[in-house]
Amino acid sequence: MRSRTTAGRDTDHAVLAALLVRTQALAADVARLHHDLAALRGLLNAPRSGGDAHISRDDSARLEAALPATRALLDAIDAAAQGRVFSAAELVAHAGVDARLADALRGMSAKRVGKRLRAIAGRVCGGIVLQRVGREAGGTLWAVVQVADDHLHAPAGDSIETGA
């Protein structure tokens, strides 16, 4: 029979081993996110021929491949919104009852969600695009729009609200 001290050390070693595995997984996630961020910056800062502000099919495909988190976020928002217009605050509130959306938002505040939505607005990803559709006292209103393959030239950051 082992002494209490040996059993305690074994438990400590098991806990430390589990923490090490989790820390390594988090480090890999951070490295992947840094890579994705660098790819996004490259796409956003790439010069457009002739001053064209539209995203090309190649850019769209590269963006989608480089940012799986964006795809997951847009898919979760699309499923949660079900064709309705929404604000960042409404998304955060709905994440309380929608596990998929909560996972995609990863505990972000409404302000941070709004900034993320602005960053990805107008970018086609998996046949859907997030568009700014208006403003109200609570902030910007958004909608997820389905797009056909031949409509991959969505203006980056353009509004589809009338008069804007």
pLDDT of residue 78: 95
The confidence band for 49, taking pLDDT boundaries of 50, 70 and 90, is: very low
Rounded average pLDDT over 43-60:
56
Q: Phi/psi at 132 (nearest 5 deg)? A: -75, 130
Per-residue pLDDT for 153 more than 50?
no
What DSSP designation does 89 have? H
For the chain, the average pLDDT equals: 76
Cα 90–Cα 119–Cα 133 angle in degrees, nearest 5: 50
> What percent of the chain stands above pLDDT 90?
33
Rounded average pLDDT over 20-46:
70
Q: Phi/psi at 138 (nearest 5 deg)? A: -80, -5
So where are the chain's domains? 1-46, 53-164
Rounded average pLDDT over 58-77:
74
